[in-house]
Amino acid sequence: MKFSLLGGIWLLSFSVFFAGCASSVSYPTPTSSSEPLPYPMPEYTEAAQRAEIFAPVKVSYATNRKKAPDGSLLPELNVSGDPLSYGQETVLIPSKREVGSFKDSHDSAFKILMKFGLVEEQDDPIITLLNAKSITLSEADFFKQFKSAKDLKSGDVLLFVHGFNVKFEDAVKRAAQVSYDINPDLQPVVFSWPSIGDPLKYNRDFGRALDSVDDFEKFMLKLMASTQGKRIHILAHSMGSKVVIPALAKLYTTHSKLLDKKLGNIILAAPDFPRETFISKYKAAFSKFGRATIYMSSEDKALKLSSGTYLADREMLGFSGSEGFFSPGIDSVDITRAGGVDDLLGHSKYGSSARVLVDMHDMIVSNLRANKRKGFIVEPPYKYFFLQP
């Protein structure tokens, strides 16, 4: 039995390599700014017969994924003259769940855990989409919502850019979960580039992320022009940093005053981006902005593999390893010691760790830089911060 369990864990680690690109700390469950929505559990278990209480979270999205004839979004790049599509999804967040929990019975990792008896589906509230099809918006209507007081929540905008191996629906659900756990008053927006959603297609996702830089840059200009009195906080996870870092650096050369006025925080969570490339080409721009945070870890198994093999021992920015990253003007935070819910690879703590979510709350909602937030220490010879459990 011991061999089978170890074998199962190894199989799981291999199967969900970089998954989530798809030990908890006590943290009070946020209360939604709107009334929870009674909604029946999906009808694929006996437990589905009982009603649960969900908080509805509206997520707006922009994507350069190609559209299928039926309107669904494909894992392909839209190469038309007008590549961006817009819409909204409503995500149901179970009220009775751990902060950081991202349970989805359709997820491959969840299914493997169930197979080996490590989780029970009926005991895990599921994050799900309210409707089978999203609401499609015109570009005008998409940006109009940020100008209308009745459509806006009281908080800022949280713009989420997902990483490798993430399907569109999972990106939307993760954006809802993270924004809700940070502060229910945040308005979540997703920029979804065309990740294939296949753990064996790293190279193809790599290319599609780079191909999405220009589209993200144009989207940012339109979004910044539309928000009225709202700051935009950007959360880029893993390979999403390959989209965000070059685009923002370019915008700093042409629209620095606009970015200084509109942007709140830039959070690079476990960035799958070569450290030496960031230092040589992009560090100056991000240091000048002064509100950039890099979350890194020495136990991120996905980035350790990427650092040691794929790019010929070029360590990734999000893998602290033996060296880590430090630069004045950028908040570098090692989150190795922060626990996470169901995060076997240590690659998704930005969303799975209550401790990290609390830190982002203090950063975004309380407007505090790392040297003013709680739970940080500096351990020589390192100059960057270590987040304590």
Work out the angle at residue 208's Cα, subtended by the Cα atoms of residues 12 and 299, and round it to the nearest 5 degrees.
Answer: 35
Distance CA 131, CA 129 (A): 6
* pTM for the whole structure: 0.84
pLDDT exceeds 90 at position 252 = yes
- Which of 6 and 187 is assigned the larger pLDDT? 187
Query: Has residue 324 got a pLDDT over 80?
Result: yes
Model confidence at 43: pLDDT above 50: no
Overall average pLDDT of the 34-47 stretch: 39
Q: Report pLDDT for 28.
A: 36
Residues 300-311 have a mean pLDDT of 77
* pLDDT score recorded for residue 107: 53
Instruction: Characterize the bridge pairing of strands 135-137 and 330-334.
Output: unpaired
| Whole-number average pLDDT of the chain | 83
Q: Please report, for residues 162, 171, 183, 235, 265, the alpha-carbon distance to residue 178 in angstroms, rounded to integers and kept in the order given.
A: 12, 11, 9, 10, 15
Query: In the prediction, which pLDDT does 118 show?
Result: 65
Domain range annotation of the chain = 2-387
Most confident stretch, 42-51, 169-178, 298-307: 169-178
pLDDT for 75-124, tens place per residue? 999 998 899 999 999 999 998 888 888 865 445 555 566 666 666 555 55
Tens digits of residue pLDDT in 19-40: 446 533 333 333 333 344 343 3
Residues 2-387, CATH architecture? 3-Layer(aba) Sandwich (3.40)
Query: What are 209-245's pLDDT values in tens digits?
Result: 999 999 999 999 999 999 988 899 999 999 999 999 9
As a whole number of angstroms, the distance between CA 203 and CA 153 comes to: 38
The total of other beta-carbon atoms located within 10 Å of residue 323's CB is 11
Q: How large is the average pLDDT for residues 370-381?
A: 93
